[in-house]
Structure 1
Amino acid sequence: MAFLEHRLIFKNIDAPGYTRDIACYQKHGGYEILKKGLAMGGPAIREEVKKSQLRGRGGAGFPTGTKWSFIDPAKATKPIYLICNADESEPGTFKDRQIIYKDPHQLIEGMILSCFANGVKLAYLYIRCEFTEGWKILEKALAEAKGAGFLGKNILKSGYDLEIHVHRGAGAYICGEETGLIESLEGKRAYPRIKPPYFPAVLGLYMCPTIVNNVETLCNVKHIVEMGGDAYAKIGRPNNTGTRLLCVSGDVVKPGYYEFPCGAVTLGQLIHDVCGGIPNGRKLKAVIPGGSSAKVLRAGEVYKIKEKDSQGNLVDREVKLEDLRMDFDSLAAAGSMAGSGGVIVMDDSRDMVECLANISTFYAHESCGQCTPCREGVLWLKKILSRVAEGHGRDEDPALLKDVADRIAGRTICAFGEAAAW
C-alpha cells in the first residue's frame, strides 16, 4: 500500500522548477500570508496558534501557544527577543536543513509573523556552524526580504519594525538546548541554565523575555495564519495536530525526508510502505524513533498505551512496535519520544553493543562538562560499551552500565545526561 505525503512545509521542497530566491517564493504566494497577519494583529495570531494546538517540533513537544502565552507583549518592560533554533545537530535528523537550503523564505516569513505576534523587534537565527552554505543562503534571503520591504523599518507600511540577524554556532551539540544556545549567543560558554529561575520567557537573552522555537515550528506558524487554527487542528490527531517532518535513515530501501499528518502512519507503515522495507531480506531489530536522544525500541516488544475509543473514553490497548503511531503521545506511551523526528532503523545484522558504543562516544564528546554526573558518567558509559564491543567485556558490565545510567538520570541541569543514559 502506497502512502501519499501531506506536504505542507515541504510543499515546494524538491518541486520541479522551484528555486530559493525571493522572486520564485513570491510567485508561489510567498509573503502574502505576512500581509494577512499584519492586518490581523498580534493578539489574533497568538490566538490562532493556541487554537491550532501546535506542539514544538524541536524535541520536547511543548505547546507553542502556551509557550508564547508566558510573555505578554502589552505588559513587557524589557525588550522581547525571539530566537530560531537552527542548530540541527541531533544524529539521524536532517529536516531543518532542507528548509534552510531549499526554501529559506518560508522560514523567514514564519519568523516575521511570530515576531509580530509577540512584539519582538530584534530576532536571531542561530544556525549550526557546519551549515556553511546554509548560513550564506540565509544571509542572502534576509537581504532580499529587507530589500522588498518585508524586514526593517515600517514593514509594509504597518508601523512594525523588525531586524533578524544570523548567528553561527561553533559546533557544540549542547547549543541545541535552548538555554545553552542563549549562553552561546551572549558570547559565553554554552552551559545550560538552571530552570527555574532561568526560564527563557522570564530570564532569557540578556535577562530579557525570550521565545526559542525551532525551524519546523516557526514554519508551521505561517500555515496556521493562512488556514486558521481550527482548520490546522483538524490535521493529524487530537493533541498531535498538524504535519510532522520525518527523517528516515539506516537500514531501509528508501531513506529520506517525508511529511505526514501527525499519527497518520505507524512505524511499520513508515518503514515498509513509505521507505520500501528493509533491504536484502533482513528483519527489523530495533528503531530509534526521534533522533539519538530517544529511547531505543526493540522489535517484538509490546507496549501498553492509552487511547480514546469511539465514545471518547480512555482505554488501555496493547500495541506492537510496528503498530505504534508516529505521534508525540503514542511514542511517549511506549517509553520513547517523537523528539526531532529522526527515525533510525536497524536490521538484525546490527550489533546493538556497537551501535550503543557509537552513540555513547558521541555523547561523551558533546557533554558540556558542567554537571559531574553527566561529564563523568557518560564517559564511563562510553568506556564500558567500547570495551564490551571490542570483546573485552566483563560479567559485571551490564549491571555496572545500568548503575551508571541510573546515577546520571535526573541529576543534571538539562536533559542531555538523561538522553545519553537512555
Structure 2
Amino acid sequence: MKNIFLTLLTALFAGFVQAQDDPNPFITTWETTEDNEAIVIPTFIKRLTEIEKKMNENYENVYGKPKKKTNSNEETYSYTVDWGDGSTDSTTYTGDAVHTYTKAGTYTVTFSGTFPRIYFNYGWNQKPNIDSSEQIMSKAIAIAAKIRTIKQWGDNRWTSMGGAFAFCENLTIADEAGVPNLSDVTDMSGMFSSSSFTGDLSKWDVSSVTNMAGMFQSSSFSGDLSKWDVSSVTNMAGMFQNFSLGRFLGDENLSDKNPFTGDISKWDVSNVTNMNGMFSRSSFNGDISKWDVSGVTDMSYMFNKSSFTGDINKWDISNVTDMRSMFNKSSFNGDLSKWDISNVKKMKNMFKNSSMSAENYDALLIGWSTLDEGETQIPKKINFDPPARYSCAGAAAREKLTGTYRWRIKGDKLVEKNCK
C-alpha cells in the first residue's frame, strides 16, 4: 500500500513539474488560399547582408546607416510547432519552419519551446537569387500576408520585436490574446512597419524599450497608446511616418498619410535623442506642447509633409543640431520665435513650401536674430530655406542674419514696399 501511495505521489509531482515546464504557448492563425500551399515561420537566424544593405539604403533617413552584419546566429531557437492540420511533426526547429498544407484554409499554429523572436521584416533563411528591391519586397509581403491572427501571446519571453510583424497586411491581435512578455525587449524598431493590423496595445509594458524607430511606419494603426511608459526610449525616428511601398518601389504618388491620431501628450520623451521623420507624412495633429525634447539632437524631417499645426513654441530645442526639412511642405503655421537655435547646424529646406504666414515668419526672424537670456550664440553660415513671404516687420532681422551671421536665405519674398 505504501509503495502504491509513493508511486501515485511521484506521478502527481512529475505532472506538476511538467505543467510548470509547459507555459502557455504562443498561438496564431494562418490562411492559405490554394491547395498545397506553404507557410514560412520567419526567424532571426541568418542575416543576408547584401539584401539588407539594399533594403536599408532606402531607410537610412529613419534607421541611420546599416551596421555591419554577420551571418552568425543572433538568436537561439529550440521550438516545436503544432500546425493545426492533424499532421505529426516532432521536429525541434532551430531556425525557420516551413509547412505545406494539402488543402486551402485557415489553420491554428501553436509554438512551444524557445521562440525568442519572429521576424517578418524580409525574414527568410534561404539564399534566393534576388537582385532587385521589388523582388525582395514582394517575397517579404507574400510571406507576411498569410498570418491572420495572434490568438494568444502566452508566456513566451520575447527578446526583440524589431521588424516582428512588418508587412503583415491581414493581422488581427485578438482581444483575448493578453499581453506579450516584453521584459527582455529593448528593440521595437519597425515592429508594425507597412502593416495593416488591428488590436489593443494599450496595456503593453514597454518600459524597457529603447528603440521605437519606424515602429508604426506606414501602418494603419491609430489606437490608444496614451499610457505607454516610453521613458527609456532614445530613438523615435520615423515612428509614425508614412513611407509607402509605392515610394520604395519608385512611385512618387504619395497622397496618403499615416493615420495615427492618438493622444500621446503625456509621454515622457526626455531620453529621446532622435526624432528624425517621426511624424513625416502623418495625419497626427495632437497636443505635444509639453514634451521635454531637451535631449533631442535630430529633428530633421520631423513634420515633413505632415498635417501638424500644434503649439510647440515652448519646446527646449537647445541641443538640436539638425532641422533639415523639418516642416517642408507641411501645414504648420505656428510661432517659433522663442526657440533657442544655438546649436543648430543644418536648416536646409526647413520651411520650403510650408504654410507658415508672413506674420509668423517675421516673428521667427526677429526671435532668431536676437540673443535672448540663456542663449549662447546665434549660429553662423546657415543654409536656410524659409517660408515664402515676409514683411517689413521682419526685414531688418533677416538682413541681420544674412549680413552679420552670413546666413544663406533663399526662396522668400518681401510682400511690402518702402520699408523704413
Relative CO higher for 1 or 2, CA cutoff 8 Å, sep ≥ 6?
A: 1
Between Structure 1 and Structure 2, which shows a larger proportion of helix residues? 1
Q: TM-score range by the shorter chain?
A: under 0.3
TM-score norm. by structure 1 comes to: 0.27
The structure having more radius of gyration, on CA atoms, is 2
